[in-house]
Structure 1
Amino acid sequence: MKLLGLIGGTSWYSTIEYYKLINELAGEHIGHDQNPSLLIYSQNIQLMREQDKEKINQTYLEISRKLESAGAKGILICANTPHMVYDFVQPQIGIPILHIAEAIGRKAKKMGLQKLGLLGNRPTMTGDFIPSYLKRNFDIETLIPDTEFIDRSHYFVSKELTLGIFTDEAKSFYQKQMELLAGKGAEGMIMGCTELPLLIKEEDSEYPLISTTQLHAQMAVDFILGAY
Structure 2
Amino acid sequence: MKKIGFVGGISWTSTLDYYKYLNQGINEKLGGLNSAECIINSLNFSDIQNKGWTNSFDLIFGACKNLVSSNVDAIVLCANTAHLFADKIQSKIDIPIIHIGEATAIEIKKEKLNKVGLLGTKFTMEMDFYRNKLKEYNIETIIPSEKKDVEEIQDIVKNELGKGFVTKESKKKFIGYANGLIERGAQGIILGCTEIPMLIGQEDFKLPVFDTTKIHVESIINFALDIEKPVANNV
- Per the normalisation by structure 2, the TM-score is 0.92
Q: Deviations over 1:163-219 (max 9, x none)?
A: 111111111111111111112111000001112112113222232100000000111
| Aligned CA distance change for structure 1 residues 55 and 121 (closer, same or farther; 3 Å) | closer
In the alignment, what sits opposite 1:174? 174
Alignment of 1:144 onto 2:143: yes
Alignment of 1:222 onto 2:222: yes
User: Where do residues 196-211 of structure 1 align in structure 2 (5 Å cutoff)?
Assistant: 196-211=196-211
In the alignment, what sits opposite 1:42? 42
Q: Deviations over 1:36-78 (max 9, x none)?
A: 2101100001233135456411222221122111101100111
| Aligned CA distance change for structure 1 residues 198 and 114 (closer, same or farther; 3 Å) | same
CA distance in 2 between counterparts of 1:223 and 1:32 reads 20
Q: Which amino acid aligns with 2:62?
A: E
Q: Is the 8 A contact 2:201 2:211 kept in 1?
A: no
The percentage of counterpart residues that share the same residue type is 36
CA distance in 1 between counterparts of 2:202 and 2:218 reads 18
RMSD over aligned Cα, in angstroms?
Answer: 1.3
Q: Which amino acid aligns with 1:61?
A: F
Q: Is the 8 A contact 1:10 1:79 kept in 2?
A: yes
What displacement does 1:29 show? Answer: 1.1
Secondary structure of 2:210's aligned partner: strand
In the alignment, what sits opposite 2:63? 63
User: Where do residues 38-187 of structure 1 align in structure 2 (5 Å cutoff)?
Assistant: 38-53=38-53, 55-136=55-136, 138-146=137-145, 147-187=147-187
Q: Which amino acid aligns with 2:158?
A: S
Number of equivalenced pairs: 227
Poorly superposed stretches of 4+, deviation over 4 Å? none
Q: Which amino acid aligns with 2:104?
A: I
| Aligned CA distance change for structure 1 residues 120 and 161 (closer, same or farther; 3 Å) | same
CA distance in 1 between counterparts of 2:162 and 2:66 reads 26
CA distance in 2 between counterparts of 1:188 and 1:32 reads 37
CA distance in 1 between counterparts of 2:87 and 2:160 reads 29
Q: Is the 8 A contact 2:144 2:150 kept in 1?
A: yes
Q: Which amino acid aligns with 2:68?
A: E
Unpaired segments ≥5 residues, structure 2: 229-235
CA distance in 1 between counterparts of 2:220 and 2:103 reads 10
Q: Deviations over 1:138-167 (max 9, x none)?
A: 110110001231001111100111111111
